[in-house]
Amino acid sequence: MASLEPLPPSVASRLDDDTVLTVACDLDLAANFGERWLSITPRRVTLYSEQGQVLREIEVAAVASARLVTDRGGGHLVLSHGQDEVFARFTAPLTKNFAYAVTVIEALREGRPVPPMAERDRAPACPTCQRELPPGTNVCPVCFDRSQVVRRLLTYIRPYRLQVAAALGVLLLGTAVQLVPPYLSKLIVDRVLTPRAGSALLGLVGALLAASVLQWTLQAVRGYLGVWFGSRMMGDIRRDTYNALMALSLRYFDQRQVSQFISRVNSDAQSMQQFMTDGIVMITGQTVLIAAVLAVMLTMDWRLALLTFATIPLIAVVSLVVWPFVRRRWYRQWRAMMHLNVLVGDSLQGIRVVKAFGQEPAERGRYSAANLDLIQQNVRTDGMWQGIFPLFSLLTGFGGLLVWYFGGEQVVHQKIPLGTLIAFIAYIGMLLGPLQWFSQLINWVTNAMAAADRVFEVIDAPREIDDAATAVAMPSIRGHVRFEGVTFSYESHRSAVTEIEMEIQAGEMIGLVGHSGAGKSTLINLVCRFYDPDQGTIYLDGVDLRTVRQADLHRQVGVVLQETFLFDGTVAENIGYANRQASRQDIIRAAKIANAHGFIMRLQDGYDTRVGERGQRMSGGEKQRIAIARAVLHNPRLLILDEATASLDTETERQIQEALARLVRGRTTFAIAHRLSTLRHADRLIVLEQGKIAEIGTHEELLRSRGVYYRLVQAQRELSRIRGVEG
């Protein structure tokens, strides 16, 4: 028996020996939270309560069909037996289990062997404790060690450990030198000023000067070392974050605001670096300084030394109380900043639309509101800081006052020499510096830990579309593609394509036809493996696409989209984007095939003309032809044309059609075009309707069958006729 979760004894005792599958439900039939159990045997499907009571039961033979209906945040299982009946309800995380339950019921109903649950449908488990991992992360909350964040941060130090060790050595030396001036002051007071004997004065002042010069030198060396390895560490963190972002699947970005990652890569890395350079060096240095000063003070007068430290426990308690509060305030401030960044990015990227619709005042209003929020968060966070910092100063300074009073009394009663008190006060100054600095430390550490959390969240996010360890190398693809029962949804409650079955021969040109939202682009996204199917399999040359090495796949897939994206660079760089080894002849040849050479040569700098950010200095048709040239140079075995000739004037479209006709020759091509006439030469047309295949055939066959395609063609002819009349 397969049980997807451990069964409670009350239910386990009720199950038949031949139970094929049990699935837990987390909702009752009225959609309230409650534990229910679905059991499937070859004879019946039963729904049990948590106590093992039978709530619903139906003979498998009586089931006409089983299907899953997705709701917002979950779904329900419907069994048909003359009439439809809701058999179980569940929340979204259990959808895969129920999809498998449907497969099992259908197999039993049809007398087929029950297929095993696909490994990918099982929730990923922690390799250490085997518990199910929370979605969206590879970090197990049970095995996660809090100190792990700090340890991971410290791993960035490892490559520069020699430099860090040198900086620490310099720091220790500097600390020792720092202890010298107060002692020299004591000597000046006790041996020169009090007995009024000036013979040693020059020597002692000279020693003071030497100590200051040495201290300055050491500080400069340590500072330079800090900058040297700090900058490199920051570069390493930025690199790892960026590499992680590049490796993440499109689905990860679909669910998030993309602009926020700009700040993650830069500012979060900076916060972490600040902690690892200044923070760690300062913690070590100040700890050593405190210990050294403490030792000297205890040696000089232990009673005065204890008075100095009277307030330290209080400072520690205040810090512990304040810490979580500070952390949350920082996070709120960061969120407000992120929101503002996203807003600016959004409005500037869409600046043409903003201006075209005269929405500048509305955008200014949105910005003002977000800006006000950030101001408020800044005032709260930094204002709180302004209160905490003096509080720490006050607490630490109180110890100094005690020393002045009790130490002064002892000097008056001639129990200690004046020089000792002066030196003591100087040492207290040195001691209070680090203690007051402790509040700054909270600030740094809080900031760095929050930044580390955010950065590691990106680095730890599971790469949904990842190469398996046993990924199949396919250096040369023929281009045979087969979809077998492919279902996919961008959001859990709405399928984009359902149960797609199709086979495309190598070198065949397929036109994908259908209304907007019918699932055409989704099929293309799946072929490119931007996403993996939720159910079913896509085979490329007979190999499951999930197991194909992605580098091999993407090297042999070429894409020309309606919304052509050009990178800021020259025309030549954009054409050669997917083939960096291409020679200048190759680039010109590709441009000629793409009918782009003529207009490129009319540009002032020819192939070296900069296209501007996102290609904004080019017209739609020009960008399109550069994109085709890019695809030509890429020389793909699988070619994707997604509305590649939409929104162009007739002459440009003719040129691009001509270029595309050359490009598709001998390659497996998937083409989407709103204008159906452009697909009439396709080997076959696949007509999609609401995520399902409605018809497959050639242009002529589909016209003859007078189905969906025929109606689409008729509608388009009618539209053209009306436009013609209007024109």
Partner 1 sequence: MDGADIGSEADPSLLNLLEPSSLRVRVGPGGLLQAWVGELSYRPVEVQQAFPRSDPGRFLVLSHGEVELGLIEDVSCLDAESVRALEYGLRVHYLIPRVTRIQRIRQEPGRWTWDVITDRGPMQLTVQNLHDHLETIGSGRMLLTTEDGRGCEIVAAGSLDRHSRRQLAKVW
**Minimum distance of partner 1 from residue 680's CB (angstroms):** 28
Closest alpha carbon to 115 in 503, 489, 536, 548: 536
Tell me which stretch binds partner 1 (CB under 8 A): 269-277, 279-287, 423-431, 454-462: 454-462
If one asks whether residue 36 binds partner 1 (CB under 8 A), the answer comes out as no
Residue selected from 146, 352, 580, 602 as contacting partner 1 according to rule CB under 8 A: 146
Structure tokens at 194: 């009090």
**Minimum distance of partner 1 from residue 124's CB (angstroms):** 12
Tell me which stretch binds partner 1 (CB under 8 A): 40-48, 66-74, 174-182, 440-448: 66-74
Per the CB < 8 A criterion, the answer to whether 85 and 79 are in contact is yes
Q: Give whichever of 338 and 477 is closer to partner 1, judged by the CB atom.
A: 338
Main-chain phi, psi angles of 359, to 5 degrees: -95, 15
- Dist. CA 572–CA 219, nearest whole Å: 50
If one asks whether residue 365 binds partner 1 (CB under 8 A), the answer comes out as no
Cα distances (Å, whole numbers) of residue 310 to 305, 313, 331: 9, 7, 34
Main-chain phi, psi angles of 144, to 5 degrees: -65, 130
**Per-residue contact flags (x/-) with partner 1 for residues 259 to 288, judged by CB under 8 A:** -x----------------------------
# chain residues binding partner 1, by CB under 8 A? 54
Structure tokens at 151: 């340890």
Tell me which stretch binds partner 1 (CB under 8 A): 3-11, 79-87, 509-517, 538-546: 79-87
**Per-residue contact flags (x/-) with partner 1 for residues 80 to 119, judged by CB under 8 A:** ---xxxx--x-xxx-x------------------------
If one asks whether residue 41 binds partner 1 (CB under 8 A), the answer comes out as no
DSSP state of 416: S
Q: How many CB atoms lie within 10 A of CB 384?
A: 14
- Dist. CA 44–CA 335, nearest whole Å: 52
Q: Give whichever of 22 and 492 is closer to partner 1, judged by the CB atom.
A: 492
- Dist. CA 418–CA 711, nearest whole Å: 105
**Minimum distance of partner 1 from residue 144's CB (angstroms):** 7
Per the CB < 8 A criterion, the answer to whether 678 and 507 are in contact is no
Q: Give whichever of 70 and 273 is closer to partner 1, judged by the CB atom.
A: 70
If one asks whether residue 31 binds partner 1 (CB under 8 A), the answer comes out as yes
Chain residues 645-704 in contact with partner 1, contact rule CB under 8 A = 690
**Minimum distance of partner 1 from residue 561's CB (angstroms):** 27
- Dist. CA 202–CA 194, nearest whole Å: 16
- Dist. CA 87–CA 246, nearest whole Å: 43
If one asks whether residue 137 binds partner 1 (CB under 8 A), the answer comes out as yes
Cα distances (Å, whole numbers) of residue 297 to 182, 287, 428, 429, 684: 11, 15, 9, 12, 91
Q: Give whichever of 106 and 132 is closer to partner 1, judged by the CB atom.
A: 132
Closest alpha carbon to 420 in 183, 225, 638, 242: 183
Residue selected from 183, 228, 309, 331 as contacting partner 1 according to rule CB under 8 A: 331
- Dist. CA 181–CA 187, nearest whole Å: 10
Chain residues 478-497 in contact with partner 1, contact rule CB under 8 A = 491-493
DSSP state of 7: P
DSSP state of 646: T
**Minimum distance of partner 1 from residue 29's CB (angstroms):** 6
If one asks whether residue 323 binds partner 1 (CB under 8 A), the answer comes out as no
Please state the separation of Cα 179 from the chain's center in Å.
48
Amino acid at 538: I
- Dist. CA 655–CA 108, nearest whole Å: 56
Q: Give whichever of 518 and 540 is closer to partner 1, judged by the CB atom.
A: 518
If one asks whether residue 366 binds partner 1 (CB under 8 A), the answer comes out as no
Cα distances (Å, whole numbers) of residue 633 to 426, 558, 608, 621: 74, 9, 17, 18
Tell me which stretch binds partner 1 (CB under 8 A): 249-257, 353-361, 539-547, 665-673: 249-257
**Minimum distance of partner 1 from residue 636's CB (angstroms):** 34
**Minimum distance of partner 1 from residue 715's CB (angstroms):** 18
Residue selected from 76, 109, 637, 667 as contacting partner 1 according to rule CB under 8 A: 76
Helix spans in 255-279 (H) = 260-263, 269-274
Q: Give whichever of 232 and 515 is closer to partner 1, judged by the CB atom.
A: 515
- Dist. CA 290–CA 272, nearest whole Å: 25
Chain residues 530-589 in contact with partner 1, contact rule CB under 8 A = none
**Minimum distance of partner 1 from residue 32's CB (angstroms):** 4
Tell me which stretch binds partner 1 (CB under 8 A): 42-50, 321-329, 352-360, 582-590: 321-329
Q: Give whichever of 457 and 499 is closer to partner 1, judged by the CB atom.
A: 457
Per the CB < 8 A criterion, the answer to whether 697 and 713 are in contact is no
- CB-based contacts of 43: which residues, under 8 Å, 6+ apart? 16, 18, 59, 60, 61
If one asks whether residue 30 binds partner 1 (CB under 8 A), the answer comes out as yes
Residue selected from 27, 575, 587, 593 as contacting partner 1 according to rule CB under 8 A: 27
Tell me which stretch binds partner 1 (CB under 8 A): 6-14, 65-73, 202-210, 640-648: 65-73
Please state the separation of Cα 73 from the chain's center in Å.
23
- Interface contacts to partner 1, rule CB under 8 A: 27, 29-34, 71-74, 76, 78, 83-86, 89, 91-93, 95, 134-137, 139, 141, 144, 146, 148-149, 255-257, 260, 324, 327-328, 331-332, 334-335, 338, 449, 453-454, 456-457, 460, 491-493, 690
